[in-house]
Amino acid sequence: MSLVWKLLRQHISIAQFAGFFFANLFGMFILLLGLQFYNDVKPLFSQEDGFLKPEYLIVSKRISGVSILGSGESYGFSQKDIEDITSQPFCKSVGAFTASQYRVVCSLGVQGVAQMGTDMFFESVPDRFVDTDLSQWTFHPEDGVIPIVLPRSYLAIYNFGFAQSQSLPKISEGIIGMIDMVVVLRGNGQEQRLKGKVIGFSSRLNTILVPESFIRWSNARFAPEADLTPNRVIVEVKNPTDDAIVKYMNEHNLELEDDKLDAGKATYFLRVVTVLVMCIGLLISILSFYILMLSIYLLVQKNTEKLRNLLLIGYSPVRVSLPYQLLTIGMNAVVLVFSFIILFMVRGYYMNTLWVMFPQMQEGSLTAALGLGLCLFAVVSLINIVAVRNRVMNIWNRKE
Amino acid sequence: MDKIALQNTLPCVFEGRDVQSEIWLQDVTFQKGQTYLVEASSGTGKSSLCSYIIGYRKDYLGTILFDGKDIRQHSVSDWTSVRKNSLSLLFQELRLFPELTAMENVQIKNGLTGFKGRKEIEAWFERLGIADKTDAKVGRMSFGQQQRVAMIRALVQPFDFLMVDEPISHLDDVNSAIMCDIMMEEARRQGAGVIVTSIGKHMDMSYDKTFRL
């Protein structure tokens, strides 16, 4: 083999192969990075909300400029409003948000050290709308522990606004148990200290959610005479994409509180950009593949006489094709390995940045990018093998 | 392979011409173990004959048979096997690799079957007077020296027929005689048939049959 290789490596152009190598490396890397980045970032856009099913919509009345000035219009949902929504064909059931009607002061701390305190409020929805383990979602006055679901944006406010400026540790959703929450309830001439326990975050709820049993107990105790007209309702619909919902909302001056649509848009653009980037990568790969094919053709052309003589003294076409086939496969393999290495390096870099921004982020799978790389390698190598073999057979058949 | 038969064979380019030949358009059989001389004038298709038999060209009319099998039916692997194990050709244009040394040129062929040991090959170099050239690039050798390398290369394989196309055109009588001896020793050892072509100067030895092409 070594003598055949010594013969056939004549006229190999280092410049041409280096050109192919870098072009293909670049193309392959862009292609793989596009796919990997998409897979890594996608979960951020399509995170499932653990506490609210997609078919639950939160509805409030639209606040217009005129009504702020006090036209007497109510923002609350009357019993009649709720019945009207319930009677709509798209609606399965309706639940009211019930707000706390007394004063709540809450202080947050991490591992026993109080960090910040604030006035706040609680709201609840009927328990059947909360998609979590109901054994966690109950309140017993004798335990004194309130399960709480916070809006996910609060975590971001803490991590970026507060923790950053106060040099406090950042908190991820995974270590939420470290947060100590002391809640003081005041009203009706009484005061009580309770412990809050954050059991999760929701991106769809713009409120601090507690169990219905707690709101009922606390309102009865601290604000027995308050008006409980809900400002928001939660609606279970049959199909969240139903046009009738939007139509009804507009007709009745209602508003949907939902970021689903925005996330959908962002995912769409992410997909467009990813596809675009991957197309560019693929284009570069195809062009570099073209360079390789031209180089191989040129090489075979320049060595036609040697190849012919080898065939005439008894070498088989398979045997004389082999060195060039191995050469191309080797080059493709090196390109593949290098693109994986660069991919891992770049990914490590951007994942660190992303983790700082989104500590709860889950890592996307590498399988797709690795699979794509291997597929591309296999396809390109296969085409190379066939092309070299065809060229050699042309020499055999005296077409060259 | 015991027989090479030509039946009514004629190069396509000669079609329609008045051909006077003891090979073209005749029934000719070369037998294993026999020695043949094909004498030719320029332009009578001597190299074409060699190209047809080695399977390099197919532009002929009629039929060529190896042991009764039409060689037009030979597959790629049939030909590879024939060239490796049954038929050795010393090309008139030698077809050596100028980038390789004389020894490498022989070894690249010997490597296919591992037929000869290095000692034996070196002995041939010695006898042919080119022992000092074993490591010289063939491209830098004279045509006469290259002819001797090509002969050694033709011998380092098993064969039933050895076909040599003007093997001594650039050799003196002494070297011609040595080359002839080596060739016939090896052919006899393998019990092979030998077909020598020539357009004038030919190897001085006894032939079983001579054809005028």
Q: What share of chain A is helix, strand, coil (3-state, %, to 5)?
A: 55, 20, 25
Mean pLDDT of A361-382: 89
CB–CB contact B89 A309 (8 Å): no
Instruction: Count how many pairs of residues, chain A against chain B, have C-beta atoms within 8 Å.
Output: 48
Mean pLDDT of B182-210: 91
Q: How far is A307 from chain B (nearest CA, A)?
A: 10
For A38, the token pair is 């998409």
CA contacts within 13 A on the Cβ side of B46: 24
pLDDT of residue A322: 93
Query: Which among A7, A312, A396 is the nearest to B100, CB-wise?
Result: A7
pLDDT of residue A53: 67
Q: Which of helix, strand or coil describes residue B58?
A: coil
B-chain residues near A315 (CB < 8 A):
80, 112
B-chain residues near A4 (CB < 8 A):
108
Q: Alpha-carbon distance A180 to B62, whole Å?
A: 101
CB–CB contact B108 A314 (8 Å): no
What does the CA dihedral B118, B123, B129, B131 come to, rounded to 10 degrees? 40
Higher pLDDT, A384 or A224: A384
> Pairing relation of β-strands B60-66 and B3-11?
antiparallel
pLDDT of residue A114: 62
Q: Over the stretch B126-179, which tens digit does the pLDDT of each residue have?
A: 999 999 999 999 999 999 999 999 999 999 999 999 999 988 888 899 999 999
pLDDT of residue A323: 92
Q: What is the mean pLDDT of chain A?
A: 83
> Which among A211, A237, A258 is the end of a domain?
A258
> Which among A217, A243, A258 is the end of a domain?
A258
Q: How far is B109 from chain A (nearest CA, A)?
A: 7
Q: Which of helix, strand or coil describes residue B88?
A: strand
CA contacts within 13 A on the Cβ side of A254: 25
Residues A161 and A203 in one domain: yes
pLDDT of residue A108: 74
Which of A62-66, A134-138, A242-246, B109-113 has the weakest average pLDDT? A62-66
Q: Over the stretch A63-118, which tens digit does the pLDDT of each residue have?
A: 766 555 554 556 788 888 888 888 888 888 888 888 888 888 888 776 666 667 78
Q: Minimal Cα distance from A305: which residue of B?
A: B95
Residues in Cβ contact with B109 at an 8 Å cutoff, skipping those fewer than 6 apart: A313, A314, B153, B156, B157
pLDDT of residue B133: 92
Residues A303 and A270 in one domain: yes
Q: Which of A247, A276, A316, A251 has its CA nearest to residue A37?
A: A276
pLDDT at A43 over 80: no
Residues in Cβ contact with A160 at an 8 Å cutoff, skipping those fewer than 6 apart: none
Q: Minimal Cα distance from B95: which residue of A?
A: A309
Where does residue A369 rank: exposed (0-12), middle (13-18), buried (19+ CB within 10 A)? Answer: buried
CB–CB contact A4 B108 (8 Å): yes
CB–CB contact A10 B99 (8 Å): yes
Neighbours of B201 (CB within 10 A): 13
Mean pLDDT of A151-165: 77
pLDDT of residue A51: 64
For A139, the token pair is 């309140």
Residues A289 and A193 in one domain: no
Q: How far is B107 from chain A (nearest CA, A)?
A: 8
Q: Alpha-carbon distance A225 to A230, whole Å?
A: 15
Residues A83 and A212 in one domain: yes
Q: Which of A86, A103, A74 has its CA nearest to residue A233?
A: A86
For B1, the token pair is 């392979």
For A132, the token pair is 């979590």
Share of chain A above pLDDT 90, in %: 24
Residues A203 and A135 in one domain: yes
CB–CB contact A312 B83 (8 Å): yes
B-chain residues near A306 (CB < 8 A):
97
Q: Minimal Cα distance from B101: which residue of A?
A: A3
Neighbours of B15 (CB within 10 A): 10
Residues A91 and A198 in one domain: yes
CB–CB contact B84 A314 (8 Å): yes
Mean pLDDT of B47-72: 94
Q: What is the crossing angle of helices B143-155 and B173-190, to 10°?
A: 10
CB–CB contact A314 B112 (8 Å): yes
pLDDT of residue A74: 66
Mean pLDDT of A299-314: 93
Q: How far is A296 from chain B (nearest CA, A)?
A: 20
For A94, the token pair is 């309706």
pLDDT of residue A118: 82
pLDDT of residue A142: 83
Mean pLDDT of B198-204: 82
Residues A195 and A90 in one domain: yes
Q: Minimal Cα distance from A316: which residue of B?
A: B80
Q: Give the start-end residues of each E strand in chain B.
A: 3-11, 27-31, 35-39, 60-66, 69-70, 87-90, 161-165, 193-198, 209-212
Number of domains comprising chain A: 2
Contact residues, chain A to chain B, C-beta under 8 Å: 3-4, 6-7, 10, 306, 309-310, 312-317, 393, 396, 398
Residues A274 and A316 in one domain: yes
With b for 16 or more beta-carbon neighbours within 10 A and e for fewer, the A381-400 pattern comes to beebbebbbebbeebbeeee
Q: Are A181 and A111 in contact (CB under 8 A)?
A: no
Mean pLDDT of A273-287: 90
Residue in this structure with the two tokens 């019945």, named with its chain if needed: A83
DSSP state of A241: T
Beta strands across the sheet bearing A145-151 = A113-120, A103-110, A179-187, A190-202, A145-151
Question: If residue B68 lies in a helix (H) or strand (E), which one and from where to where?
Answer: none
Question: If residue B41 lies in a helix (H) or strand (E), which one and from where to where?
Answer: none
Q: How far is A388 from chain B (nearest CA, A)?
A: 16
Mean pLDDT of B51-79: 94
Q: In chain B, what are the domains?
A: 34-46+76-212 (3.40.50.300)
Residues A307 and A278 in one domain: yes
Among A2, A8, A313, the strongest candidate for a mutation testing the B interface, having the largest count of B CBs within 10 A, is A313
Q: Minimal Cα distance from B103: which residue of A?
A: A3
Where does residue A119 rank: exposed (0-12), middle (13-18), buried (19+ CB within 10 A)? Answer: exposed
CB–CB contact A312 B95 (8 Å): yes
Which of A142-156, A223-237, A252-266, B46-60 has the weakest average pLDDT? A252-266
Q: How far is A312 from chain B (nearest CA, A)?
A: 7
Mean pLDDT of A165-191: 77
CB–CB contact B76 A316 (8 Å): yes
pLDDT band at A225 (very low <50, low <70, confident <90, very high): confident
Question: If residue A29 lies in a helix (H) or strand (E), which one and from where to where?
Answer: helix A14-45
Query: Which among B56, B99, B157 is the nearest to A314, CB-wise?
Result: B157
Q: Over the stretch A12-39, which tens digit does the pLDDT of each residue have?
A: 888 988 988 999 999 999 999 999 988 8
Share of chain A above pLDDT 70, in %: 88
Q: Alpha-carbon distance B44 to B48, whole Å?
A: 9
pLDDT at B33 over 80: yes
Q: Alpha-carbon distance B145 to B98, whole Å?
A: 12
Q: Alpha-carbon distance B1 to B97, whole Å?
A: 29
Residues A202 and A238 in one domain: yes
Q: Alpha-carbon distance A240 to A238, whole Å?
A: 7
Give me the domain span that covers residue A109: 56-258
> Which among A241, A258, A275 is the end of a domain?
A258
Which of B16-20, B48-52, B90-94 has the weakest average pLDDT? B16-20
Residues A107 and A232 in one domain: yes
Mean pLDDT of A41-55: 67
A-chain residues near B107 (CB < 8 A):
3
Q: Minimal Cα distance from A399: which residue of B?
A: B57
Query: Which among A3, A312, A396 is the nearest to B54, CB-wise?
Result: A312
B-chain residues near A10 (CB < 8 A):
99
pLDDT at B108 over 90: yes
Residues in Cβ contact with A345 at an 8 Å cutoff, skipping those fewer than 6 apart: none
Residues A92 and A218 in one domain: yes
Mean pLDDT of B36-56: 92
B-chain residues near A317 (CB < 8 A):
76, 80
Q: Minimal Cα distance from B57: which residue of A?
A: A398
pLDDT of residue A49: 59
**What is the total residue count of chain A?**
400
pLDDT of residue A52: 67
Q: Alpha-carbon distance B10 to B71, whole Å?
A: 15
Q: Are A238 and A57 in contact (CB under 8 A)?
A: no
Radius of gyration of chain A (CA): 33
